[in-house]
Structure 1
Amino acid sequence: MMIYVIAIVAAIAGFLFGFDEGVIAGALHLLHAQFGIDPVMEGVMTSAVPFGALFGALLAGRWVDALGRRKVLLAAALLFAAGAVLAASANGIAMLSLARLVLGFAIGMASLVAPLYISESAPPEKRGMLVSVYQLAITLGILGAYLINLAFAGSWRSMFLFGAVPGVALFAGMYMLRDTPRWLVTQNRTREARTAIASIRGLPLGSVRVDAELQDIARTAESDKGRGSWAELFGPVARPALVVGIGLFLLQQLSGINAVIYYAPVVFREAGFDSASVQLMATIGIGVVNVVMTVVGMALIDRIGRRPLLLLGFAGAALSLGMIAIAAATESTALDTLAIIGLVLYISAFAVSLGPLPWVMMAEVFPLNVRGLGMGTASLANWGFNFLVVFSFPLMVAHLGLGGVFAIYALVCAAGVIFALRVVPETNGVPLEDIERHLRSGQPLRTLKRAPAAGEGILLGGSRP
């Protein structure tokens, strides 16, 4: 089915996201040996990716509406390949930091547009699972980076250069695909939109279902006529969606996931794994857990819904981070096993829930006319806090110890339980147009309910014209 091809191609951007963030873990000790890096230089180099992504997400939020989803992903693919080549040829930390800034810019663009591209193409009943393919690709990218680190253990240049391969693959794949029906409608390219819907759904052009979907998209686009503005984004209709988008990414990043990904070998060393090779193998094991549990999350997201999965994820992450904090704070070798169990449980909770759900919901909740702007703003928050966590982690560990840092992350996850209960809506199975109608109805976003089956009435908070 065409929608799966679309999801897989767009998700290559997720693989690149994970690869370019994870590859630094295995390269750090080689870079230390060759260039001599102090903690500040290390923080600048590793945080160059999220810093670049800040600007990539900000600009993509505008470009995605003006140029289309497809063209922005094509541009990101070129930047991925160029950044990988530049990193591999770096002659010092300054040039490597610049290369990672370019890669970060590409990640910021792609992390906004790829989930949007999938979400606007997917049928409502499969949207959560299909958008989660992007998060699965991130975990595969992280695992792939760890395996490349192992394969090229003596050459950091080869590690970075490998990232050009999926960059070229993303460009080739997107070149052969169309833009989304929703964007095509906003550009008055109705014939192309009809063709895109028919292709994605596997239906003939004259199908009643194709015409019905096209008409629903067109009605919503007509009510949203005009380019979205900042005033509209922060206005009463879109503001609840903005709170959900920014809030979920804030909590996701402050749960400490990128500190674990970037500095996993350091975490294992602090837990008592002295050999660099043992640390890397243990890190690969964590990468495998991340992939497997992401698949579990994909199987659950459209079955049990977004909110229950978020509650499970935040509660599990708070508990497991608390275990790590206790083990690290006591510095007892007898508790090393507790720390490792806590780390595995944390990765599991994150992969099932906190990893995919912010990306899924960001691509669902915003009205069409401010969707690019809203997702750009949510992504900006994501990368801002990503940068803060990655840059601050080595400094925080130096001053608070690993136990103190993980205790802070545990408290953030506990706050996430409250946020999920009081703010987050259940968007499972709800068409994007119905989510927008609910926002415009003035009812609280968290009261959104799944569209009833045919003959069961209308969606609470909105009516189908």
Structure 2
Amino acid sequence: MVGEKKISSGFIYFFGAFAGILFGYDIGVMTGALPFLENDWNLQNRAGTIGWITSSVMFGAIFGGALAGQLSDRLGRRKMILISALIFVVGSILSGIAPHNGQLYLIVVRVFLGLAVGAASALVPAYMSEMAPARLRGRLSGINQTMIVSGMLLSYIVDYLLKDLPETTAWRLMLGLAAVPALILYIGMLRLPESPRFLIMNNKLDEARKVLSYIRSKKEEIDSEIRQIQETAREEIKANQKASYGTLFSNKYRYLVLAGVGVAAFQQFQGANAIFYYIPLIVQKATGHAASSALMWPIIQGVILVVGSLVFLLIADKFNRRTLLTVGGTIMGLSFILPAILNLLIPHASPMMIVAFLSVYVALYSFTWAPLTWVIVGEIFPLVIRGRSSGLASSFNWIGSFLVGLLFPIMTASMSQEAVFAIFGVICILGVLFIRTCVPETRGRTLEEIEKIGENRLLEGKSA
């Protein structure tokens, strides 16, 4: 159209991943708010209530991911991200104005907020992978992880800056300020186009071509990608007009679905969010100092996460996905298991030893399992089931996150922190075994080539 203003690819990729800021802020903000909320509402000896308030967002996210996956196949990725941003705004404001001692109110509101968090975790990887060319998919999808950890670091800094306010004012502002980046996301997404793959699936070829012209440099590249998407779409729509959750576990798709969902589940059951949600309380238990005076530790962890995410952007498409996940998972597991062993051998070792090992864990997690989980979720699922599969993977990821957030304070009330983290360390090692035996390599392959891997696996099974 004459006079139409072209949208830059940088703008598209930036705001396509900006939902990660909200995702990260809401993951991180309770870390600093919890010590003040604990004192304000006298929750020090109520581990179950603390666990529910912390994990209620993740409980909502379980359903948000599944719902967004289904609705995005009908309404589009862009529209669902816009709806999620509005839920973020409302949920953040309602959290900040919770009535005094309104534990149930805050839990319910944070479940509502979790719907948007879960939706963002499912939609952003799918949107970014469908916009990115195969050679850059890992790096561009990794921007989502940089946004997530930047949001976490932002929340830690906000928590630290507000720590000298009266307790009841501090935690309310910490939670309520999430509305600000949500508004920014909504405004930015208004200018973003829909995913070209979604447009082609809905017979909007001209619109898809226009979107691809923003993000592909050559006409031949655009034509080739459109033909490839159309060919795959025709074959799969003919074979299965209406994909259902049963379709996900049919022989044709089961291998790739289990691989993607398994990676997403292991990422959370490995225990990373126990650190991110509770690091001030972990330091308090290790040192005996008040958790509200330990708010510099979340910032340190946040800086490690951001630096790690930037390292990932440099190496994302230079190393195989499986190699990075194997190395990262092994060192992460050892970082959790070694403190328990050393505590048995050296009973009077420094109580801060566990915090040092946790920092090693965070460093490796930051450029391996943290970003690569969402890269794999974004690229491993076949087109016709991508929305539902991404939603299912997101839901399993949030089930793990919810259980870790809920059970960690209960577990540490009944056993040592070293023993709890050793359990997570064993899960890290099991995750590595899963990667080596059940997950195919996806680096540098088009989404259509990855789908062929699942089909070939089916043929191998039939011929065995």
Encode CA deviations 1:94-118: one digit per residue, 9 max, x unaligned.
2222221122110001110011100
Q: Give the match for residue 180 of structure 2.
A: 165
Q: Give the match for residue 361 of structure 1.
A: 376
Q: Give the match for residue 211 of structure 1.
A: 223
Q: Give the match for residue 25 of structure 2.
A: 19
Structure-2 separation of matches of 1:9 and 1:329 = 49
Encode CA deviations 1:19-62: one digit per residue, 9 max, x unaligned.
11111111112212222222221111111110000110111111
Q: Give the match for residue 140 of structure 1.
A: 150
Q: 1:106 to 1:259 in 2, by over 3 A?
A: same
- 1:80 and 2:88 matched: yes
1:202: Cα distance to partner? 4.1
Encode CA deviations 1:239-282: one digit per residue, 9 max, x unaligned.
11111112112211111111111101111122226244551112
Q: Is contact 1:273–1:279 with CA below 8 Å preserved after alignment?
A: no
Encode CA deviations 1:203-248: one digit per residue, 9 max, x unaligned.
5xxx222111111111111111123122221011211111111211
Q: State the secondary structure of the residue aligned to 2:50.
A: helix
Q: Is contact 2:33–2:171 with CA below 8 Å preserved after alignment?
A: yes
1:295: Cα distance to partner? 1.3
Q: Give the match for residue 463 of structure 1.
A: none
Structure-2 separation of matches of 1:442 and 1:262 = 40
Q: 1:175 to 1:208 in 2, by over 3 A?
A: same
Structure-1 separation of matches of 2:258 and 2:443 = 18
Encode CA deviations 1:180-203: one digit per residue, 9 max, x unaligned.
110000000000011111111145
Q: Is contact 1:85–1:161 with CA below 8 Å preserved after alignment?
A: yes
Q: Give the match for residue 75 of structure 2.
A: 67
Structure-1 separation of matches of 2:346 and 2:119 = 42
Letter in 1 for 2:74: A
Q: Give the match for residue 62 of structure 2.
A: 54
| RMSD over aligned Cα atoms | 1.9
Q: Give the match for residue 233 of structure 2.
A: 221
Q: Is contact 2:343–2:349 with CA below 8 Å preserved after alignment?
A: no
Letter in 1 for 2:335: S
Structure-2 separation of matches of 1:21 and 1:69 = 22
Letter in 2 for 1:218: Q
Letter in 2 for 1:223: E
Q: Is contact 1:271–1:328 with CA below 8 Å preserved after alignment?
A: no
Q: Is contact 1:301–1:309 with CA below 8 Å preserved after alignment?
A: no
Structure-2 separation of matches of 1:328 and 1:2 = 54
Letter in 2 for 1:33: N
Q: State the secondary structure of the residue aligned to 1:104.
A: helix
Larger deviation, residues 93-102 vs 52-61? 93-102
Q: Is contact 2:92–2:178 with CA below 8 Å preserved after alignment?
A: yes
Q: Give the match for residue 346 of structure 1.
A: 361
Encode CA deviations 1:310-337: one digit per residue, 9 max, x unaligned.
0111111011111333356678452335
* TM-score with structure 2 setting the length: 0.92
Structure-1 separation of matches of 2:141 and 2:328 = 18
Q: Identity over the aligned pairs, expressed in percent? A: 37
1:118 counterpart (114, 125, 128): 128
Q: 1:299 to 1:439 in 2, by over 3 A?
A: same
Q: 1:351 to 1:444 in 2, by over 3 A?
A: farther
- 1:98 and 2:98 matched: no
Q: Is contact 1:328–1:339 with CA below 8 Å preserved after alignment?
A: no
Q: 1:239 to 1:24 in 2, by over 3 A?
A: same
Letter in 2 for 1:358: T
Map 1:302-341 to 2 at 5 A: 302-326=317-341, 332-341=347-356
Larger deviation, residues 114-123 vs 323-332? 323-332
Letter in 2 for 1:52: G
Q: 1:401 to 1:73 in 2, by over 3 A?
A: same
1:71: Cα distance to partner? 0.6
Structure-2 separation of matches of 1:220 and 1:97 = 44
Q: Give the match for residue 35 of structure 1.
A: 41
Q: 1:263 to 1:210 in 2, by over 3 A?
A: same
Structure-2 separation of matches of 1:296 and 1:326 = 31
Q: Give the match for residue 403 of structure 1.
A: 418
Structure 1: which 5+ runs fail to align? 446-465
Structure-2 separation of matches of 1:425 and 1:418 = 13
Q: State the secondary structure of the residue aligned to 1:302.
A: coil
2:301 counterpart (249, 261, 286): 286
Q: Give the match for residue 150 of structure 1.
A: 160
Structure-2 separation of matches of 1:328 and 1:56 = 41
* TM-score with structure 1 setting the length: 0.91
Structure-2 separation of matches of 1:302 and 1:325 = 36
1:10: Cα distance to partner? 2.3
Letter in 1 for 2:73: D
Letter in 1 for 2:395: L
Q: Is contact 1:272–1:333 with CA below 8 Å preserved after alignment?
A: no
Q: 1:357 to 1:11 in 2, by over 3 A?
A: same
- 1:5 and 2:17 matched: no
Structure-2 separation of matches of 1:316 and 1:107 = 29
1:422: Cα distance to partner? 1.1
- 1:130 and 2:140 matched: yes
Q: 1:169 to 1:333 in 2, by over 3 A?
A: farther
1:400: Cα distance to partner? 2.2
1:254 counterpart (264, 269, 286): 269
1:4: Cα distance to partner? 3.2
Q: Is contact 1:26–1:280 with CA below 8 Å preserved after alignment?
A: yes
Structure 2: which 5+ runs fail to align? 1-6
Q: 1:132 to 1:392 in 2, by over 3 A?
A: same
Structure-2 separation of matches of 1:310 and 1:51 = 26
Structure-2 separation of matches of 1:295 and 1:8 = 15
Q: Is contact 1:146–1:284 with CA below 8 Å preserved after alignment?
A: yes
